[in-house]
């Protein structure tokens, strides 16, 4: 059981269908498994770093702070050279190194970040960030 908490939260695991315009146009469907994330049928390594607090979730995903929802932060390495649907990339010319997730009901929101340092999840820091690549929504 401890091993499961070190990677993906139990709720993150599994297959998710692209639900937002960004997800449909760029990544297609997504899947989370132990130690990996799959985008457009290609797998990449992933390790859970920590849980996100409700305040951090609200800052990243514009979620209602009063819901008290937690999210997760993962470390990954999706090279900038990787092309997804319609030859799109996740972070332009930068490698994608961070993934943040937030689940509500049967929907997961996923934010991708570049940058070597762990993203700072405050409203102010995210407004100024050059490392936030995009937010995508998926459903079950």
Residue 33's CB: how many other CB atoms inside 10 A? Answer: 15
Per-residue model confidence (pLDDT) at position 9: 54
Model pLDDT, residue 40: 84
pLDDT (tens, 9 = 90+) of the chain, 140 residues, equals 333 334 455 578 899 999 999 999 999 999 999 899 999 889 999 999 999 999 999 999 988 877 768 899 999 999 999 998 888 899 999 999 999 999 998 999 999 999 999 999 999 999 999 999 999 999 99
Q: What is the dihedral of CA 115, 17, 55, 64, to 10 degrees?
A: 140
- 117's CB contacts (< 8 A; 6+ apart) are none
Range of the domain at 10: 2-139
Total of domains in the chain:
1
pLDDT of amino acid 8: 52
Phi-psi region of 71 (alpha: psi -120 to 50; beta: other; left: phi over 0): beta
User: What are 63's two structure tokens?
Assistant: 């979620």
pLDDT score at 5: 37
């Amino acid at each position: 059981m401890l091993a499961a908490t070190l990677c993906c939260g139990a709720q993150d695991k599994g297959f998710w269908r692209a639900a937002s315009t960004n997800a449909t146009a760029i990544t297609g469907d997504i899947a989370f498994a132990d130690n990996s994330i799959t985008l457009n049928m290609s797998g990449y390594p992933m390790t859970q770093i920590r849980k996100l607090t409700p305040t951090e979730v609200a800052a990243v995903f514009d979620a209602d702070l009063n819901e008290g929802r937690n999210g997760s932060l993962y470390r990954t390495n999706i090279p900038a050279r990787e092309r997804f649907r319609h030859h799109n990339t996740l972070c332009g010319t930068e490698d994608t190194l961070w993934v943040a997730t937030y689940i509500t009901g049967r929907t997961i929101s996923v934010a991708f970040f570049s940058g070597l340092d762990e993203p700072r999840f405050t409203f102010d820091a995210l407004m100024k960030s050059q490392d936030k690549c995009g937010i995508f929504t998926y459903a079950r």
